[in-house]
Structure 1
Amino acid sequence: MTELDEAQRLSRILSRERRPLERFDAYYEGEQPLRFVSPVLERELGYRLSPIVLNLALFAVEVYENRLDIEGFRVGAGTESDDELWDAWQENEGPFVSQQVTQESLALGRGYAMVGPGEGDDDAPVLTIESPFDAIHEDDPRTKRVRHGIKRWTDPDKVRWMTYLHQEGTITWRQRRGDWIEDDSTEGNEQRLCALVPLMNDARVLGRHRPGKSDQRLGRPVFQPILSPLDALNKEASDMMVSSEFHALPRRWATGLDEDDFVGEDGKPLNTFSMIAGRMWGTESEKAKFGQFPEAALTNFHETIKLLMQIVAMQLGLPAHYLLFQGDNPPSADAIRSSEAQLVKRAERKQQAYGVRWEQVQRLMLMELGRAEDARPKNIETIWRDPSTPTIAQKADAIVKLVQAKDFSGRSILPIEQARQDLGYTPMQQERMRDWDQNTVLDAQIAASQRELEDAAAGGV
């Protein structure tokens, strides 16, 4: 099978994957249709049935994404972030694009990163992120490494393009009159790494076999377990709003009246709204009786929504104070840390999974920088921000105690550089601190030299 045949096969799989991706995207954007509503009720209510969407899918993505911040990449046995790699990361707007691709992965199950050479020899490698609507990959069944993948797009001139990325390089075609014409090709790297790197959420080894589709599981959205409760929540919220209309305008009843009693001063019949909304009814009939049905109570909706919110919190591992109805008094710091234990652990698991992929991205970046020797799998580490939310005072107190504690040789158990990393300072802040430390030492040496000169001058006198 030729490279073009493989690329077209992957393109067909990508087209078939579009439908589930559009479904997840609708939930993420809060545009999913209203479920559990009978067609008869929809016809009866008409325009008055406006769906109320509680967009907890977006909330779930943001809760996890907020705890997945990259602070640097460590190369080799050093304790500091690699400056050259971090410069290339910053030049490619790494903090921003990593946030985007993480949101895409959590919302749609996967996102992609691509690494390529810069425009010139002195330019940094180019890092781009790709949507699962435009890219797809397949793993090698033996090594489980990315075997190949494609990216396809349409330019502003309506010309269709497709790039096939594999372990031996890349090939780009453009379509002209229904035929794919090769436009460009590049050679692969010496470690045979595919330049398309998937970042998947909750990936499994194998998925369900579906004819014509990939057998591998290409990740799932973080909110997939709560899709059914979300549909139920939106249904309850919409029902509550419909009931609130009858609660604001309670239904009235009357007996002993005829059609002539519902005629205005101009002799024209009153419309339905005028008959029920605050107009006074009067009649000369002695048999007429008036009344009002009991108002609709909404507390049953409140309890159902609260129960469904509890189910959502349980499925996502969220603390109780994130979703449930609480009082005015906020939880204590200890209570917050205890309730966030499951969420923090899940975030740490995602850091491990995403970290492996980001390290592969940095291996590709290092090879583009001409540092193939440093681009070994066990030679790179992703530095993540602590996903937990401890109080600053407690964290600082624990770190200071470790710095002050000495081992048998008199050295600190925790080096000052590691302490600054644990406190959450960025690589740039740590670099400034090192400069200040050096200036402080230099100032002390200058002051000591001046004192010695002054003492020598005084002794000579």
Structure 2
Amino acid sequence: MLLETGKVLTDDDRPEDKIRTLKARIDARKAGVDERNSLYGGERPLKFASPEFTEQTGGLFEGFSDNWCKTVPDTLRERLEVVSFEGEDGTTDQEAKRAWKRTRARVDVNLAILDALVVARSHALVWNPSGELTDITFIPAGEAVVDYAPGTRNARRTGLRIWSDGTHEFATLFTRAWAGRPPMVYRRQRMLNGGQWATRTVGLRRSEQVDFVNPMGNEIPLVEIANRSRLHGDPESELDPVAPLQDGINTLWAHLFTAADFAALPQRVVMGMDKPTRDIRDDEDNIVAEEDIPLGQYSKDRLLWLSRQGASIGQFSPADLKAYLEVISQAVRHIAAQTRTPPQYLLGEMANIAADALEAAESGLVAKASDKQTYFGEDLLEVMRLEALAAGEPARAASLAMGRTVWRDPQYRSVAQYADALTKYKAIGVPDEALWRMIPGVTEEQVTEWIRMRDAQAQAAAEAASAALSAFGPKDGTGEDADESQEDEEEG
């Protein structure tokens, strides 16, 4: 990973030095985080406009944005829905599923993934200091940082959580074991306006410790959820290729609106006639001066007298605004191509399109979402492995380490398409449970209930069949058959 500061962290640094170094790394990222958050929110100053245009319009277009920087990550995030987690044997980890629901992680993970798409990263903290219920908390990029061991991409050696109460700034530092020292948790504080980090005293419960051995053992319970990280660099934001085109589109709209205000309507001009005036008279009705008649009055009254011989009216043709719209549409198409966002999400030009054509249009987005599932899935699987360790279940943690994150199918299909596909999967022997999980919108709880209902139905059918067969079985020695048997015995 590339460091944003010149200070390299070492294992033998004092806790306060580590906090200072890691906090500097968070601060170095702040400008990029703030800029991308502003882009996503549509808060972008007008760029690429000439000084003359800016001087003419002033702050007229402040706050205006034709915001595609929100559409692009939102469209991708909608295709990234976590369903469950599987262990090494391929079965759903029920305990992980319960923890995922209990901690609201199934909801908050959507915010964490969106943050990672927008600002390049987010974080998850797995914490169970009391040894009871494990908590999973997702943290934005500006409030946490993970430091990796030199020469590795995934070996976490230090983690820092930062937050503020409006007066003080608080830090929780997690370190690994080193040179005979146990893995530790350090809690520090300082005034919000800066200063030295000191042992935390504000806001602590009586039972809470300040410096203590990490109950998670030699595990850093802070996980970075990174977007499209490269081997030699930092994670990237989905907005980086969109921002320049977004700025250009905003400026083009500003020019279009200005042209529409000044030149979109035909402009008429009176030729061969003096500017209309009227006399100014004194109290004795003598003409003492004259004043111009506002031309707007003629437009309002829709009436004009041409009193001079030879006067005529000419007309300037209106400006053609289609040129602006064509350039804007082309820029939006560039955004669609570079981000692999389907054109129907950006241009709204597709209607009555065949299912195959729609599937082809979304193929780029589906491939991109599948790629994101690979990397985000490993990060989230690490979160659940830490949850199993925090719950005191090392065997389950080891199984999850070799398991996988199960995602909803990123391809949207019609009900008929799904039914046809599932029928064909059934024909080649795919189990019902696997087919049910492929149906869009079906939860793991529904699948479990369907399994119970199927088993109950099968048991009821077996009992009914057994009852039917018993009607043709051996008799109990009564009735007509018994009388015939007795007669045979007597004749014998």
**Cα shift at 1:255:** 4.4
Q: Match of 2:52, as an amino acid? A: V
3-state secondary structure, aligned to 1:401: helix
Counterpart of 2:314 (choices 282, 291, 295) is 291
Alignment-derived partner of residue 187 in structure 2: 172
Alignment-derived partner of residue 451 in structure 2: 434
3-state secondary structure, aligned to 2:142: coil
Contact in 1 for aligned 2:382/2:401 (Cα 8 Å):
no
Alignment-derived partner of residue 134 in structure 1: 143
CA distance in 1, matches of 2:185, 2:71: 38
Q: What do the CA deviations read for 1:397-429 (whole angstroms, capped 9, x no partner)?
A: 333333333xxxxxx3x2222222233432101
Matched, 1:150 2:160: yes
Contact in 2 for aligned 1:166/1:195 (Cα 8 Å):
no
CA distance in 2, matches of 1:344, 1:22: 29
CA distance in 1, matches of 2:17, 2:407: 40
Structure 1 residues 269 and 171, CA, compared in 2 at 3 Å: closer, same or farther?
A: farther
Structure 1 residues 84 and 48, CA, compared in 2 at 3 Å: closer, same or farther?
A: closer
Q: Match of 1:439, as an amino acid? A: A
Q: Match of 1:292, as an amino acid? A: Q
Contact in 2 for aligned 1:52/1:237 (Cα 8 Å):
no
**Cα shift at 1:312:** 0.8
Unaligned runs of 5+ in 2: 1-12, 177-182, 201-209, 282-289, 480-492
**Cα shift at 1:384:** 0.6
Counterpart of 2:119 (choices 93, 104, 108) is 108
Alignment-derived partner of residue 222 in structure 2: 196
Counterpart of 1:62 (choices 74, 77, 80) is 74
CA distance in 2, matches of 1:244, 1:351: 46
Structure 1 residues 130 and 257, CA, compared in 2 at 3 Å: closer, same or farther?
A: farther
Structure 1 residues 250 and 315, CA, compared in 2 at 3 Å: closer, same or farther?
A: same
CA distance in 2, matches of 1:433, 1:385: 19
Alignment-derived partner of residue 277 in structure 2: 261
Alignment of 1:379-418 (within 5 A): 379-405=402-428, 412=429, 414-418=430-434
CA distance in 2, matches of 1:153, 1:264: 73
Structure 1 residues 292 and 45, CA, compared in 2 at 3 Å: closer, same or farther?
A: farther
CA distance in 1, matches of 2:298, 2:17: 71
CA distance in 2, matches of 1:364, 1:263: 91
Counterpart of 1:366 (choices 388, 407, 422) is 388
CA distance in 1, matches of 2:437, 2:280: 79
Q: Match of 2:464, as an amino acid? A: A
3-state secondary structure, aligned to 1:224: coil
**Cα shift at 1:431:** 0.6
Which has the larger displacement, 230-239 or 172-181? Answer: 172-181
Matched, 1:230 2:268: no
Unaligned runs of 5+ in 1: 208-216, 406-411
3-state secondary structure, aligned to 2:412: coil
Which has the larger displacement, 125-134 or 386-395? Answer: 386-395
**Cα shift at 1:268:** 7.4
Calculate the aligned-residue CA RMSD, in Å: 2.8
Contact in 2 for aligned 1:262/1:275 (Cα 8 Å):
no
Q: Match of 2:114, as an amino acid? A: Q
**Cα shift at 1:249:** 4.9
Structure 1 residues 339 and 456, CA, compared in 2 at 3 Å: closer, same or farther?
A: same
TM-score, normalization by structure 2: 0.81
**Cα shift at 1:396:** 3.0
Q: Match of 1:175, as an amino acid? A: R
Q: Match of 1:172, as an amino acid? A: R
Contact in 2 for aligned 1:50/1:238 (Cα 8 Å):
no
Matched, 1:307 2:335: no
Structure 1 residues 174 and 47, CA, compared in 2 at 3 Å: closer, same or farther?
A: closer
**Cα shift at 1:304:** 0.7
Contact in 2 for aligned 1:164/1:172 (Cα 8 Å):
yes
Structure 1 residues 55 and 8, CA, compared in 2 at 3 Å: closer, same or farther?
A: same
Structure 1 residues 187 and 271, CA, compared in 2 at 3 Å: closer, same or farther?
A: farther
TM-score, normalization by structure 1: 0.86
Matched, 1:7 2:16: no
3-state secondary structure, aligned to 2:313: strand
CA distance in 1, matches of 2:342, 2:144: 35
Q: Match of 1:165, as an amino acid? A: F
Structure 1 residues 50 and 2, CA, compared in 2 at 3 Å: closer, same or farther?
A: closer
**Cα shift at 1:108:** 0.7
Q: Match of 2:415, as an amino acid? A: I
**Cα shift at 1:42:** 1.6
Whichever of the two has the greater Rg, that structure is 2
Alignment-derived partner of residue 339 in structure 2: 316
Counterpart of 1:337 (choices 359, 362, 370) is 359
